Amino acid sequence: MSFASEPTVGAALAPTPDPVLRVDGLCVSVRTDAGLKPLVSDLSFALNRGETLAIAGESGSGKSITSLAIMGLLPPPAVHISGGSIHLGAVGLHDLPEHQMRAIRGDRIAMIFQEPMTSLNPVLTVGFQLAEAIRAHQDVSRATARTRAIEALQAVRLSEPARRFDQYPHELSGGMRQRVMIAMALALRPEVLIADEPTTALDVTVQREVLDLLRDLQCDLGTAIILITHDMGVVAEMADRVIVMQNGRMVEQAATRDLFARPTERYTRDLLAAVPRMGQGAARHAPVPAALVASLRDVSVRFGLKGGLLGRTVRNVHAVEAVSFDIRRAETFALVGESGCGKSTIAKAMMGLVDHAGSIAIGDTSLKGLDKQGLKNIRRRVQMVFQDPMAALNPRMRVGDLIAEPLVIHRIGTRETQCARAADLMARVGLTADQYDRYPHEFSGGQRQRICIARALCLNPELIIADESVSALDVSVQARVLDLLATLQREFGVAYLFISHDMAVVENICDRVAVMYLGQIVEMGTKAQVFGNSQHPYTRRLIDAVPVPDPAFVRQPQPRLAGDVPSPVFAIGAGPVRVALTDIGGGHLVAQGSGD
For residues 256 and 296, state if they share a domain.
no
What are 134-146's pLDDT values in tens digits? 998 888 999 999 9
Residue 348: inside a domain, yes or no?
yes
For the chain, what percent of residues have pLDDT higher than 90?
41
Strand, coil or helix: what is 113? coil
Residue 388, SS3 per DSSP: coil
| Residue 550 in domain | no
Residue 565 lies in a domain: no
∠ Cα 433 434 435 (to 5°)? 90
Q: Which of 273, 305, 320 is the last residue of a domain?
A: 273
Q: How many angstroms separate the Cα of 474 from the Cα of each of 53, 213, 364, 478?
A: 17, 24, 38, 6
329, 263: one domain: no
Q: What is the rounded distance in angstroms from the CA atom of residue 584 to the CA atom of residue 596?
A: 24
Q: What confidence score (pLDDT) does residue 575 get? A: 59
pLDDT in tens, the chain (596 residues): 444 333 333 333 344 468 999 999 999 999 888 888 899 999 999 999 989 999 998 877 889 899 999 999 998 888 999 999 999 999 999 989 988 998 898 889 999 887 777 789 999 999 999 999 899 888 899 999 999 999 988 877 787 899 999 999 988 876 688 788 888 888 888 899 999 888 766 677 777 777 877 787 677 778 899 999 877 888 998 999 999 999 999 999 999 999 999 999 999 998 888 888 776 655 555 455 678 999 999 999 988 777 766 667 667 777 898 999 999 999 999 999 877 788 889 999 999 989 999 999 999 999 988 998 999 999 899 999 887 788 889 999 999 999 999 999 999 999 999 999 999 999 988 888 889 999 998 887 778 888 998 999 899 899 999 988 877 677 777 787 788 888 888 888 899 999 987 788 898 889 999 999 888 999 999 999 999 888 888 888 888 888 888 887 776 665 554 444 555 665 555 555 554 444 444 334 444 444 44
Q: How far is CA 105 from CA 81, 93, 183, in A?
A: 18, 10, 15
Q: Is-contact 477 59, C-beta < 8 A?
A: yes
User: Max alpha carbon distance in the chain (Å)?
Assistant: 69
Q: Over the chain, what is the mean pLDDT?
A: 83
Tell whether 580 is covered by a domain.
no
What whole-number distance in Å separates Cα of residue 376 and Cα of residue 410?
9
Given this model, what pLDDT does residue 316 score? 73
Cα→Cα distances 501→3, 339, 469, 516, 547, Å = 25, 8, 11, 11, 12
User: Where is the domain boundary, 242, 273, 304?
Assistant: 273
Whether 519 is covered by a domain: the verdict is yes
> Do 314 and 342 share a structural domain?
yes
3-state secondary structure at position 29: strand
How far is the first Cα of the chain from the last one, in angstroms, to the nearest whole number?
41
Domain assignment of residue 555, yes or no: no
Mark whether 444 and 512 lie in a shared domain.
Answer: yes
Helix, strand, or coil (residue 283): coil
Output the CA angle 527-502-177, nearest 5 degrees. 140
Spatial CB neighbours of 56, under 8 Å, sequence gap ≥ 6: 63, 228, 229, 230, 232, 235, 242, 243, 244, 245, 271, 474
Given 244, 273, 302, which residue is the final one in a domain? 273
| 298 plus 262 within the same structural domain | no
Residues 6+ apart with CB under 8 A from 186: 3, 110, 152, 155, 156, 193, 213, 217
10 Å Cβ neighbour count for 340?
Answer: 24
Range of the domain at 461: 292-544
Task: For residue 440, give the DSSP letter.
Answer: G
- E strands present in 363-485: 365-366, 382-385, 463-467
- Write down the pLDDT at residue 14: 43
CATH of the domain at 332: 3.40.50.300
The span from the CA of 429 to the CA of 454, in Å, is 7
User: Is 299 found in the same domain as 151?
Assistant: no
Of 438, 345, 354, 422, the C-alpha closest to 386 is 345
Q: Are 111 and 194 a contacting pair, CB within 8 Å?
A: yes
How many structural domains compose the chain?
A: 2
